[in-house]
Structure 1
């Protein structure tokens, strides 16, 4: 690729939303910061869309494993346009809409990122629609196809089927030809039925019996985001060769203990089930697994896998196989209200909560 010296010698003023410590959403602080010109291998991205995910709710409580020390800027992913690049970066990237998985830093109007971490968004896909599929689409696609390897004709159980990850996962599973049973609040059942899901109320005291009625022999795969009693139930609902994929411990969000005291028992439980004399399999999905250190061979392989999978998911969106599910939109400066909605039991919309700088 042709390289460019299209760097900028002037600074850019970015608005960022800072998480100063373990605070309520109202404690988030918008600040302004001068960004320097991009250095070697970097790109300056003007953010068009970012979002609220479960991670931010956990981080503000200090309960996301591996989060940075306070204060920091949250924001697990973003979509934006490349406005400047540093030495060694292809000039063709300038002006392109890109997506990035950041873990933190996305709640800003502009960011400096390694150009190697950017994935181009296909023409015809808007920034908000693309944003719904970065962390959520990658998580759903990789759990379904890389972890559980779900096949046409199989039956899968998705807990939290109306959530950010769940609403993508059920669409991908249906596209793969799987039958989908999804747990969700009753207010979301009609929308889930439109997606081809057989919904079950997660608050039903006879939840296990209801799912057993739908899948008497058990499900081929279960995807659980709650942990605790829910992950045990999901495992029991597998058929004799089923696969369980756990990907969060949302049930422990409000716990006050150190996060490892909830996380390690879950990993031990999954490992124990794999050593049990059955043909079932259980695993924990981590979107950052295998990332390695920056500039390592592992990091390059991780980037290649991420780019391949996300590009495929974007293609499904462009082709109409997937529908972007947007629960609500807020200006970036109203991130506190967006986070409050994400954590509210009164939330009525299905999908992702978007922040628009």
Structure 2
């Protein structure tokens, strides 16, 4: 758990940025931390903890929030804050709208939204995070208000219910802050956007019983799934129930929705390659749609691994070398014969821990390879493959 800031800490840090600049000159590494803090304490006394925590959080934020070099944070707020590219994608969907972020926290979304929205306002119940937001995003109106008490009209409501307490993640929608079911009730009929953890069980919200239709967008960045975003009302695409959006740091992106066909060939033998779809596609339940788009098929209808004779553009996959029954003895023997020295292991549908399996295969060769372990029907299968390889790059920045 990080340092517990109060409003007096925030006021002082805002007024004396030179103190943070001086503390930032210290390494604050595990090896130097004790001696560094001793020197800092000799100069700044009881302000040391707040200064060191702020400098440490700013350093952690450099990759995730590169614009926030002079920001103030709490540890929980930084952990839950959305990576810049993901926030910008959402802000583009809200371009030209009047937006109220009812859980504005330290102001990350406000900073991004003010570039695209006609008007943006933020609110939160936490007084410390509010004064941090005022420091971080000057010129944007923020007010103290309960997210479950509507305070603006004719705005798109954006909410990011708290998923962390004391550094620990909450998974139950009803245990979020504010509770997600209550949020949906309060803003029923409003244009609403709710950021959620990527593992959210949308079915548990029982939206049909509420008479509510939502577009569920799962977003990944550079192969890592970052969030599930629920879109309601006029900001949702009325024809879409599920969307996967795949973002890259180089600015390329593509999207896939359930409006596309999902008819694929059944009961075919594996092709030349195995393709592990982007996590956003898998979490959005669009594996068959992705397969149909790229003329792939499934190794098994219940497993997300796909196969085909060519790799889709901007995707990685594995060229099959050999299919084997899944037994450690056979795998150890064949991998040795293939001169395998390093091995990427992918597992779906089988209870196998790659970190436990890898040393037991006793790899002593020089060749990098891959191993895909999966279930086909009722049988465990192992595909020995070449190293991960990339498909052709797309010609356009957006698909």
Larger Rg: 2
Output the TM-score relative to the length of structure 2.
0.30
Output the TM-score relative to the length of structure 1.
0.33
